[in-house]
Amino acid sequence: MMKKEMRFNVLKDFNYDVLNNSEYGEDSVREEIVFPIIRALGYASDANNRIIRSRKLLHPFVSIGSQKKKIYIIPDYIMEINGEPSWIMEAKAPNQDILNTKHVEQAYSYAIHSEVRALYYALCNGKEFLLYHVCEYKPVLHFDIRLLPSYWAELKKLLSPEKLYQNSNRNLSKDFGLHLKRLGFDTFKELIFPGVPIASISKLDNDLYTFTTGIKEDETTYCVSFDFNHEVFLQLKNEISDDVFNTLKEPLNDAIIEIQFCDVLFYVSIGCRLDGKIMENKDEMFLPLKINRIIK
């Protein structure tokens, strides 16, 4: 006799037809779908593994004139493990596309907030479930909510209190370009970075140069790559040493040129933009910043 596999389904009594009702909104998704999932993962309002609803977080980017007026952002749920925020959850109405950039940006901004610093952020509109790790650009999980039983073991492995930190080390670099894109800064025509340290420059072809450096933001260190063309390179005249400038100015033959500055760092102020292509290798994804100009 074949043994039938029984999969746990926290939503086994839920009527999915109600998702087509125009009056079934975000609050209903939060109460009837999202909250039961969070509870089943092992969190409660009165336990060490705690559910926090609608905590006010001071908005990190907003200021209004000269008035000291506080603006707050409010995530739907923050899950804490022994007093430490671990992941956040955002509910949306069934007619909302949770892959929409603005919704993902919103959830990411909650997860990286200085008062939270969560490892994961999730979104659910009652029809789909979406889970991201803060160090990765692509979703860790994305599935139709009707398939929850099939994904439950993986969800428990990633988000349950006893497993979350055990499985959270993704060993990926935190890329600053992807960080800015997640926050919506790719809509800006130019971003200004004063006093950027340069420890090396590579010439990849006759119209493409690059250098990589570290940037620290709000106690987190990111790796950032800056790409620029030959026109911008010429603006580095008098900003770097003459021997380095002249070496990099020479046309390439076959191999790329990489110059490491062993005993000195050069500091330049740059204007750049976020409209490059997301790059990927076997270890990570990253988004180079394109330099528009060197600021004298």
List pLDDT tens digits, range 75-88.
899 999 988 899 99
62 pLDDT higher than 70:
no
Question: What is the CATH number that goes with domain 16-159?
Answer: 3.90.1570.30
Alpha carbons 194 and 201: distance in angstroms, whole number: 18
pTM for the full model? 0.66
Min mean pLDDT across 52-61, 142-151, 204-213 is at 52-61
Q: Which CATH number fits domain 176-295: 3.40.190.10, 2.40.50.140, 1.10.645.10, 3.10.50.40?
A: 2.40.50.140
Percentage above 90 pLDDT, the chain:
48
pLDDT tens readout for residues 114-162: 788 889 999 999 999 999 998 888 899 999 999 999 999 999 999 999 8
Closest-CA residue to 290 (of 181, 183, 199, 195): 181
pLDDT tens readout for residues 179-196: 888 888 888 889 999 999
Selected residue with higher pLDDT from 278 and 139: 139
Cβ neighbours for 10, distance < 8 A, ≥ 6 positions apart: 36, 37, 39, 40, 148, 152
What integer pLDDT is reported at residue 1 of this predicted model? Answer: 45
**Angstrom distances, CA of residue 71 to CA of 56, 62, 64, 74:** 9, 7, 9, 10
Alpha carbons 23 and 199: distance in angstroms, whole number: 58
253 pLDDT higher than 50:
yes
> Nearest 5 degrees, angle CA 252-CA 285-CA 61?
110
Q: Alpha carbon 15 to chain centroid distance?
A: 33
Ranges of each domain in the chain? 16-159, 176-295
